[in-house]
Chain A
Amino acid sequence: MSLKAAATKVMGKAIEVAPDKWMPGGIPDPLIMHKHGHKGDLIGAPISRVDGPLKVRGAAPFAAEFPVPGMLFAAVAWSTIPKGRITTLDTAAAEAAPGVRLVMTHKNAPKLKPMPIFNSSPKAAGPSDLPIMQDDCIHWNGEAIALILADTQEEADHAKSLIRATYAQEPAVTHFSEAMQHPRELEVVMGEPPRVEIGNAETALTASAYRVDRTYRTPRHNHNPIELHAVTLFWHEDELYLHDASQAVAQTAWTLAQVFDIKEEHVHVSSPFVGGGFGSKTLWHHHALAAAASKLSGCPVRLVLSREGVYRTVGGRTTTEQRVAIGADIDGHFQSLIHTGTAAMTLHNDTPEQFSFPARHAYQAENFLIAQNVADMDMLANTFMRAPGESVGTFALECAVDELAEQLGIDPIELRLRNEPEKDPTSGKPFSSRNVEKIFRDGAERFGWSDRNPKPRSRREGEWLIGVGCAEGTYPYYRMPGGQAALTLSNDGRAEASFAAHEMGMGTATAQTQVVAERLGLGLDCVQIRYGNSALDGVFLAGGSSQTATIGAAVIAANEKLVEELIKLAGSKSPLHGLKPEEIEARDGGLYSIAKPSRSDTYAAIFHRSGQDKVTVVGKAPPPLEMQHWSMHSFSAVFAEVRVNAITGETRVSRLLGSFDCGQILNSKTATSQFRGGMIMGVGLALMEETEWDERNGRIMNPSLAEYHVPVHMDIPEIDVMWTDIADPHTPMGARGIGEIGITGTGAAIANAVYNATGKRIRELPITLDKLM
């Protein structure tokens, strides 16, 4: 163990055993009590999106819509081999084509440093550390080999079609089966150890009276947000300005600064609206290429990736092969839980699709073996895609639990609840809040689970075999370090909160407006949220379902400062004089003594007496130590009913219910959409999504929405969602993440329903009709 690792371990232990009250979240956020008739009534209210009217009017500008005078349009040509060298690159025809201002290749690209990759330092956001058009080497099929700038998009696209390259191909690893022969164990998997062993799981498995031991496979997926990845950028006095589609503005600014070897504060990233991200709207090579071309040409540049361009430039979910083995005694108690496997990755990134995470927290077992490694391939760096790891990990784990339940003759819900842990089964830490039994009981009742016939193939209507299934999902609570927020309260009764966070359509701006208004005791109309700009405070990632908590903690810190400032400003004549900030609460446009509500002062009165017109404070969230002190997770119980055509094998989901335990819900309307959206993505995961990766040459063969299938409206039934609304006492606002838990568990619920309908266990996604015929 390295010194650093040893130090980390000691620190971790110290945090684990420290008293609760020393932890962030050790004292519950007062906002937890603000629900249902309390205070301003905004927490949980189904407020419509504050940016809805702008979007409906087309007045919300996206990255590819900002006009910049003198702007040139970019198009990118891609390699057609997975690995090797460019031997000839004929750009003459492209250069001579009408409207073309620049053809940039490795021969004339400016010097660009490789991007520091995600997890390598706090603000690193590079998808890989490969060189960016710096030499004639090709690293994946689809890597950019030339970028064209022209007066119009059409001219750029045309010139792109005239680029001709020849290659000297080198041996490439493009077969997953071949790559799996040389697995590599990482030092850490997204901050966790790659391997967890408790007792002897293999021996216990062999000794168990009941056991399943299965292999599950999940395919590659590509990102398909409606808004194509795009950037409009320009240089001004050696500073870089970007209008980006981003879920990581501060990280993008820092990382691009490293690429161009300039100061971080000289990169300005603006991203007020994003048309869907799902983990893909981070930093990719096209940002650096567009900025480099802008530098070379001296002109502003707009680069919108085509849909094919997104597939070739932006990574997706990687392929996995997983083993889940469970041994149980006759009562169903798990004696052994094994979840191991391999995900394809590259030597140049660090996103190992943490499929082994759910098994670390979901069930009590006497013995554990959890281990995951990676198989290095020559491919575009894979990346985060909604619940990376958990989405496909729960598919394997929860299908195995269903198989075991059948073997034992125990209802699969009952089996899960018999193995419900009291504390985290692998770390031993207490859960911050866990209500898995409730979501299963509530969900089962609403779904009508008791009507289920456990015998497969026992329900049929005409050609259609009908079955139901369920699954559990877990997704970690994350709060990212670096949260910071500015709060300004003005004498007109208005407040502004700002932070470098993101709105990708999930409702952040709306939910945070509610939270800030409630925290300050103001009406919704009096609060303005500013976000989506690297100039604003803090470092946020709209990822890992972490953003709401990260903003929340930053706003709590800022609000504490604000109250302190207001007490000072209120002066000795204020009824609040002599009170400490923690003795005060904000409501109804002012501050009140908690103990004696008659002692109060309105914001208006405080400003009036002081003669000041506003107060601005900046608050820094404490480091997210709570994540190491408690075991913190969102949970789901997903129920599905499917109809499988006995003749053709076609599967249609006829009912879908998600029952969630995610702490306190901040906006029931936008939360419902998040849950439903995640579950729809889960239907895609279960039944149709698959990147056609040609193993002969690592080329993606279905880079379009015509051939890469995501669910269409007709594939989606009405989706019922419900939640416990039980506040987590240790998180800001009592809330945990909701963005990723919806997809988690949905794949397995559908697969288990397919089994109940047909008697066929499909252990390889997607469950297409050919597997069911």
Chain B
Amino acid sequence: MNIFTYARADEAAGAVRLGSLDGAKFLGGGTNLVDLMRETIERPASLVDVTGLSTAIEATSDGGLRIGAAARNSAVAEHRFVREQFPVLARAILAGASGQIRNMATVGGNILQRTRCTYFYDDDGSRCNKRTPGQGCDAIDGFNRIHGILGTSPACIATHPSDMCVALAALDATVHLSGPRGERTIPFTELHRLPGDTPQIETDVQPGELITAVTLAPLAFAKRSTYRKVRDRASYAFALVSVAAALELDGENVKNVRLAMGGVAHKPWRAQKAEDALRGKPATAANLRAAAEAELAGAQTYQHNAFKVELAKRTITAVLEQLTQETA
């Protein structure tokens, strides 16, 4: 048996101490880690259950938001302040998984879930550079309909499956970490990594480091924000493409815009190029489409996922058009 120990932490320092031991993993709701343990893809030596740490969801004095990492996804989605100030976040969470899974999943765990690829999950029969670095990738010439089109590498084309994270990327969240060498913060958009030639390392979270909280700076125009997920069935399917967006207009011009995509890359994809292309420009259909084109210009497609480029462009355009109308 893959023997592992289990301990429940009741404060962050203790969790970090236990989590710094060799082979330790933090356990949130277990909706991804436990699955992977069952498939023997993850084989931790010890589990440190951090669901007893802060679950607080509270407005900060400056009008921002602080979410304890152990807060359940459902709790965040239904929180009144979240729904009013950051609707994109509530909608993104509700677009993900199922009610049961959202009730279990924690915010910290959602952020740290592994990327999704059927070849990654096929422990016995397929090559995967995440499972066995240097082994090769069977997805690149295999079934890659759900795979990435942006920021991929010859080593890995898997996508990050989270919906919540797409919203957090758009909202410029900050992640609070507590580790053996103290506390630090890291911009959310810098937490996940592109695969490069080390796809097995998915985030910049260091061994023993624990996500304790996520904060959002106040962002008035996020009141007009939304999330749209495009998928193969009406519920319980990962995004083929998803878009999180917030928009502020100044007359007809885009004053400010936040845009991120899911289902297209190894990380929640902040669409910086599209944002830059739009800021200060009239929010016309042509400009919205041009911004989407700019973002997708660097897309690289594979045998089964070429449709994602056009799908992403259309979805970005449609979401921004919708926000334009809501804003007007």
**Interface-side segment among B121-129, B180-188, B277-285:** B121-129
**Please, which residues of chain A bring their CB within 8 A of the CB of B2?**
158
Q: Is A769 an interface residue (CB 8 A)?
A: yes
CB-nearest residue of chain B to A692:
B143
Given contacts A80-B124, A155-B1, A647-B318, contact A773 B232 (CB under 8 A): no
The contact of B1 among A98, A711, A715, A769, by CB within 8 Å, is A98
Q: Is B254 an interface residue (CB 8 A)?
A: no
- B315 near A154: Cβ-Cβ < 8 Å: no
Question: A512 to chain B: closest CB distance in Å?
Answer: 36
Main secondary structure of the interface of A (DSSP, over half): loop
Question: B102 to chain A: closest CB distance in Å?
Answer: 15
- A711 near B233: Cβ-Cβ < 8 Å: yes
Question: A236 to chain B: closest CB distance in Å?
Answer: 32
Question: A651 to chain B: closest CB distance in Å?
Answer: 10
- A714 near B230: Cβ-Cβ < 8 Å: no
- B234 near A773: Cβ-Cβ < 8 Å: no
CB-nearest residue of chain B to A701:
B118
What string of 1s and 0s marks CB contacts (under 8 Å) between B57-78 and chain A?
A: 0000000000000000000000
Question: B105 to chain A: closest CB distance in Å?
Answer: 15
Given contacts A709-B233, A712-B233, A714-B234, contact A773 B142 (CB under 8 A): no
Question: B98 to chain A: closest CB distance in Å?
Answer: 8
- A709 near B237: Cβ-Cβ < 8 Å: yes
Given contacts A78-B124, A768-B232, contact A648 B311 (CB under 8 A): yes
The contact of B236 among A77, A712, A770, by CB within 8 Å, is A712
State in angstroms the CA–CA spacing of A707 and B35 once bound together.
Answer: 14
**Please, which residues of chain A bring their CB within 8 A of the CB of B307?**
769-770, 773
**Please, which residues of chain B bring their CB within 8 A of the CB of A158?**
1-2
State in angstroms the CA–CA spacing of A709 and B307 once bound together.
Answer: 19
**Please, which residues of chain B bring their CB within 8 A of the CB of A77?**
124
Q: Is A719 an interface residue (CB 8 A)?
A: no
The contact of A769 among B138, B142, B232, B236, by CB within 8 Å, is B232
State in angstroms the CA–CA spacing of A236 and B4 once bound together.
Answer: 39
- A141 near B233: Cβ-Cβ < 8 Å: no
- Of residues 98 through 138 on chain B, the ones whose CB sits less than 8 Å from some CB of chain A are 118-119, 121-126, 138
- A154 near B1: Cβ-Cβ < 8 Å: yes
**Please, which residues of chain A bring their CB within 8 A of the CB of B122?**
699, 701
Q: Is A161 an interface residue (CB 8 A)?
A: yes
Q: Is A180 an interface residue (CB 8 A)?
A: no
Q: Is B40 an interface residue (CB 8 A)?
A: yes
**Please, which residues of chain A bring their CB within 8 A of the CB of B230?**
648, 650, 769
Question: A746 to chain B: closest CB distance in Å?
Answer: 16
Q: Is B141 an interface residue (CB 8 A)?
A: yes
The contact of B142 among A649, A701, A711, A715, by CB within 8 Å, is A701
Q: Is A713 an interface residue (CB 8 A)?
A: yes
- B119 near A652: Cβ-Cβ < 8 Å: no
Question: A465 to chain B: closest CB distance in Å?
Answer: 14
| Interface hub of B40, B121, B232 (most chain A Cβ within 10 A) | B232
CB-nearest residue of chain A to B142:
A694
State in angstroms the CA–CA spacing of A78 and B314 once bound together.
Answer: 43
Q: Is B22 an interface residue (CB 8 A)?
A: no
**Please, which residues of chain A bring their CB within 8 A of the CB of B246?**
none
CB-nearest residue of chain A to B237:
A709
State in angstroms the CA–CA spacing of A650 and B240 once bound together.
Answer: 11
The contact of A80 among B125, B145, B314, by CB within 8 Å, is B125
Question: A258 to chain B: closest CB distance in Å?
Answer: 31
Question: A143 to chain B: closest CB distance in Å?
Answer: 12
Q: Is B252 an interface residue (CB 8 A)?
A: no
Q: Is B206 an interface residue (CB 8 A)?
A: no
Q: Is A535 an interface residue (CB 8 A)?
A: no
CB-nearest residue of chain B to A684:
B233
Question: A151 to chain B: closest CB distance in Å?
Answer: 11
State in angstroms the CA–CA spacing of A677 and B296 once bound together.
Answer: 42
CB-nearest residue of chain A to B141:
A696
**Please, which residues of chain A bring their CB within 8 A of the CB of B233?**
687-688, 709, 711-712, 714-715
Question: A98 to chain B: closest CB distance in Å?
Answer: 6
Q: Is B300 an interface residue (CB 8 A)?
A: no
Q: Is A628 an interface residue (CB 8 A)?
A: no
**Please, which residues of chain B bring their CB within 8 A of the CB of A80?**
124-125
Question: B38 to chain A: closest CB distance in Å?
Answer: 8
- A701 near B236: Cβ-Cβ < 8 Å: no
**Please, which residues of chain A bring their CB within 8 A of the CB of B234?**
652, 712, 714-715
Question: A600 to chain B: closest CB distance in Å?
Answer: 59
Q: Is A492 an interface residue (CB 8 A)?
A: no
CB-nearest residue of chain A to B321:
A647
- A688 near B143: Cβ-Cβ < 8 Å: no
The contact of A648 among B40, B118, B125, B315, by CB within 8 Å, is B315
What string of 1s and 0s marks CB contacts (under 8 Å) between A464-476 and chain B?
A: 0000000000000
Question: B232 to chain A: closest CB distance in Å?
Answer: 6
**Please, which residues of chain B bring their CB within 8 A of the CB of A699?**
122, 125-126
What string of 1s and 0s marks CB contacts (under 8 Å) between A686-705 and chain B?
A: 01100010101101011010
- Of residues 627 through 672 on chain A, the ones whose CB sits less than 8 Å from some CB of chain B are 647-650, 652
Q: Is A97 an interface residue (CB 8 A)?
A: yes
- B311 near A773: Cβ-Cβ < 8 Å: yes
**Please, which residues of chain B bring their CB within 8 A of the CB of A687?**
233
- B311 near A769: Cβ-Cβ < 8 Å: yes
Q: Is A613 an interface residue (CB 8 A)?
A: no
- A773 near B235: Cβ-Cβ < 8 Å: no
- Of residues 70 through 113 on chain A, the ones whose CB sits less than 8 Å from some CB of chain B are 77-78, 80, 97-98
**Please, which residues of chain B bring their CB within 8 A of the CB of A98?**
1
Q: Is B11 an interface residue (CB 8 A)?
A: no
State in angstroms the CA–CA spacing of A701 and B142 once bound together.
Answer: 9
Q: Is A463 an interface residue (CB 8 A)?
A: yes
**Please, which residues of chain B bring their CB within 8 A of the CB of A692?**
118, 143
**Please, which residues of chain B bring their CB within 8 A of the CB of A463?**
318
Q: Is B197 an interface residue (CB 8 A)?
A: no
- Of residues 706 through 755 on chain A, the ones whose CB sits less than 8 Å from some CB of chain B are 707, 709, 711-715
CB-nearest residue of chain A to B146:
A707
Question: B76 to chain A: closest CB distance in Å?
Answer: 22
- A707 near B118: Cβ-Cβ < 8 Å: yes
- A97 near B314: Cβ-Cβ < 8 Å: no
Q: Is B310 an interface residue (CB 8 A)?
A: yes
Question: A148 to chain B: closest CB distance in Å?
Answer: 13
- B232 near A688: Cβ-Cβ < 8 Å: yes
| Interface hub of B121, B141, B231, B315 (most chain A Cβ within 10 A) | B121
- A97 near B1: Cβ-Cβ < 8 Å: yes
State in angstroms the CA–CA spacing of A712 and B101 once bound together.
Answer: 15
State in angstroms the CA–CA spacing of A154 and B1 once bound together.
Answer: 8
- Of residues 279 through 320 on chain B, the ones whose CB sits less than 8 Å from some CB of chain A are 307, 310-311, 314-315, 318
Question: A314 to chain B: closest CB distance in Å?
Answer: 17
**Please, which residues of chain B bring their CB within 8 A of the CB of A714?**
233-235
What string of 1s and 0s marks CB contacts (under 8 Å) between A32-71 and chain B?
A: 0000000000000000000000000000000000000000
**Please, which residues of chain A bring their CB within 8 A of the CB of B142?**
694, 696, 701
- B315 near A701: Cβ-Cβ < 8 Å: no
State in angstroms the CA–CA spacing of A78 and B40 once bound together.
Answer: 15
State in angstroms the CA–CA spacing of A45 and B138 once bound together.
Answer: 56
Question: B68 to chain A: closest CB distance in Å?
Answer: 28
Given contacts A694-B143, A701-B143, A769-B232, contact A647 B125 (CB under 8 A): no
**Please, which residues of chain A bring their CB within 8 A of the CB of B240?**
769
State in angstroms the CA–CA spacing of A277 and B315 once bound together.
Answer: 40
| Interface hub of A77, A648, A687 (most chain B Cβ within 10 A) | A648
- B1 near A712: Cβ-Cβ < 8 Å: no
- Of residues 759 through 773 on chain A, the ones whose CB sits less than 8 Å from some CB of chain B are 768-770, 773
- Provide a sorted-by-A list of 15 A–B residue pairs whose CB atoms are within 8 angstroms: A80-B124, A80-B125, A97-B1, A141-B125, A463-B318, A694-B138, A694-B142, A696-B142, A699-B125, A701-B126, A701-B143, A714-B234, A769-B311, A770-B145, A773-B307
A78-B125, A650-B230 given; 8 more Cβ-contact pairs under 8 Å: A647-B318, A701-B143, A712-B234, A714-B233, A715-B235, A769-B240, A769-B311, A773-B314
Report, nearest first, the 10 A-B pairs whose CB atoms are least far apart.
A714-B234, A770-B307, A80-B125, A714-B235, A701-B118, A648-B230, A692-B143, A715-B234, A158-B1, A161-B40
